[in-house]
Structure 1
Amino acid sequence: MANNLYIYAVTRAHVRELSMLTSTTLEQMLAAPDYDAALAILAEKGWETELHEPGAILMAEENKTWDFISEMVEDMSPFNVFLVANDYHNLKAAIKKTITGSEVEPVYLPRGTVPLAQLRHAAETADFSDLPPEMRVAGEAAFDALRTSGDGQLCDIRLDVAALAATYQAGKASGSDILARYGELTVAVADIKTAARCAKLGKPRSFVREALVECETLSADRLALAAGEGPEALYTYLANTDYAEAVPALRKSAAAFECWCDNLMMDSIRSQKTVNSGIGPLAAYLLARECEIKSVRMILSGQLNRLPAAAVRERLREMYV
């Protein structure tokens, strides 16, 4: 896309940022007496609340965001960093359905980079040759693991690791510092989550290492070694990395760590609010909307389940605006 078109697209994105939800709006939704009252606040902000069901409302907002970007950007390939994980999720679902013979249709995610029909055909025929090279290798390995041993966990690991590696490479290939940073953080955060879970379960180093993906800001080998020695060894290693501030959150709870990770990502994109050209501000807008939708999901779920506002509030992320 010519730079002048990026300027136009970025200007439009910055205008839309002005109507995004603020922390004040989220507090109003938390204080609303019931679910319908929370929806009324969203309706005032232009959300399609007539759909009423949370899943439908949130999906409509996701679609609206992607439609907005795609109508302005001719080449959407730089945004594959956000989408390739959906391909691997869908391939995993198709493989499991094929091998288990379940009559229940799995949940497939929209907006991948490979047509869903192509992924399903590969799984149903056990022929992955038409898929991208890295996906073909991972698909064959996952299929064989599940078919020969029935090991669903190994199937998951092989595809999840491949999805992270693909996300990382897509970020590098995007030509955008922001998208490359997204790929880096996505892998690092996933590695830390996996290592922390394995450390608490007492998994051996070899198991942990197989589930990790190398990135610039963490050593997968050292992370696996630390996790194999237990949570405290893991925290000690992390304390000497770029993710030292994650340790208190990890000690508190998995939910606290998830929140810390999302806030870290938000901090990394805020500089794009004052940038007037390039793909970075558009990527930041997509990520900001994703965070906004995630926060709304938590609040609506809390309202439906009558959870205390304080319990929901501690899980909310920092807003972009």
Structure 2
Amino acid sequence: MKIIVPMAGRGSRLRPHTLTVPKPLIPIAGKPIVHRLVEDIAGVLNQEIEEIAFVIHESFGKKVEEELIAIAQKLGAKGTIYYQNEALGTGHAIMCAKDSLSGPAVIAYADTLIRADFDLDATADSVIWVKQVDQPEAFGVINLNEANEIIELVEKPATFVSDLAVIGIYYFKDVAVLKNELQLVLDNNIIHGGEYQINDGIKQMMAKGMVFVPGKVDEWMDCGNKNVTVETNSRLLGFLHEDGQDLVSSSVVSSNSTIIQPCFIGEDVILINSTVGPNVSLGNGCHVKDSTVINSLIQNHSHIKNAKLDNAMIGSHASFDGNFTSISIGDYSVLE
């Protein structure tokens, strides 16, 4: 089994945090989004992962590439790097990894996290993972026949089709079939919204009689902008706490301070006269003094004092001193 992860977009809606770090490497509950994503997929598949191919922008740099290779190796897989240097759509991004498009594979876009527990239908040609939503008109949804097979993909339907939204994770029994169809999309310049789309390849597969079925996830957590990323951090901390995971490092130094679970607190964190939690992630090397922090995501080596933070997102190596609450400041920022 292979996992293909298109992740070349910088994540403009999550600026300033993505000015220095690609969105898929933003830590959620102490671990990069893309790391959690491939772990979750590997857990659902319950199969040996042979290769994880990451499609990135060349500007991400060698350090990011090394981090991604390390993520693959932790799962016992080969890590491969491909480049998509032009924003030409999902279909184009997948074809940038065409040398890895063979055999069974999962394609997953690295801006979402899931929790799921189901058996993969290995008899189907493809599985499209979906989540039941309250406002299907805001999403791409699937249309099912009486045999529970997907017969249509409908983008933001004006009239009700179904409430099962496509979340951007797909399984293909032989991803080479998708590669062939996407090559036709590129060769014939089939463009929607100015981009080459994965859906055009999928629709051609459906037209040839290939069987697509839904895989339903229990939770679908977005990381598109600051507010939903902080919310996702809070939700994931709650799930991990329910699973019995202790996410507070033994190296934390606490003086006259209280930790209210669920929280992730990394290595070498110092807490002085502060209350942290619930729903807080503090990265390695953070210092928090004379502060109250709830429902917030703070990355590595940042210093917080005299603060009352709620719904805050702070990058790495930042310094914050003040009485602001719902803030979003990036790496190396200083507010004093």
Bin the TM-score by the shorter chain: under 0.3
Higher helix share: 1
Return the TM-score normalized by structure 2. Answer: 0.23
Q: Which has the higher strand share?
A: 2
Higher relative contact order (CA 8 A, sep 6+): 1
| TM-score (ref. length: structure 1) | 0.24
